[in-house]
Each structure stands twice: as structure tokens, then as C-alpha cells.
Amino acid sequence: MHANVGDKLVVHGRIVGQHDQNAEVVEVLGPEGGPPYRVRFDDGHETLLSPGPDTVIQPHEAA
């Protein structure tokens, strides 16, 4: 997995009724764009994340 600052991560819910979570990559800590990533969720919460197979990267689109 490879991400850049500004990319969006969508973490899909793993059980019925659990909503997807959206986060923005604010810092890449792994080598060559690899995990872990410091991310900020929509509610403002920040954490370190090593994405699993239930996570999709949406590349940041430059304006």
C-alpha cells in the first residue's frame, strides 16, 4: 500500500451496521509512502493507522 499526504483513506465497516470511516493522510511515516500513516478522521480525531485489507486509498486530486 502506498499513500501520500492529502490522500483519503476509506476504512470499510467490518460488521453489519458499522459505517465506513473517512480519514485524510496528514503524515506518511513509513518508507517510500508505506504505512504507518498519521490520519485525521472527519470528526477531527488523529491517530496512527496501518491500513488493513478493508481500507481503500483515494488519491488527492491537485486543484
Confidence of residue 57 (pLDDT cuts 50, 70, 90): very high
Give the model's pLDDT for residue 16.
81
Reported as half-sphere exposure (CB side, CA atoms, 13 A), residue 63 has a value of: 1
Q: Quick: pLDDT tens for 1-49.
A: 899 999 999 998 878 887 889 999 999 999 999 999 999 999 999 999 9
Edge-to-edge order in the sheet of strand 21-28: 46-49, 37-41, 21-28, 8-11, 55-58
Residue range 43-59: average pLDDT? 93
Burial 6-33 (b: 16+ CB within 10 A, else e): ebbbebeeeeeeeeebebbbeebeeeee
Give the model's pLDDT for residue 7.
96
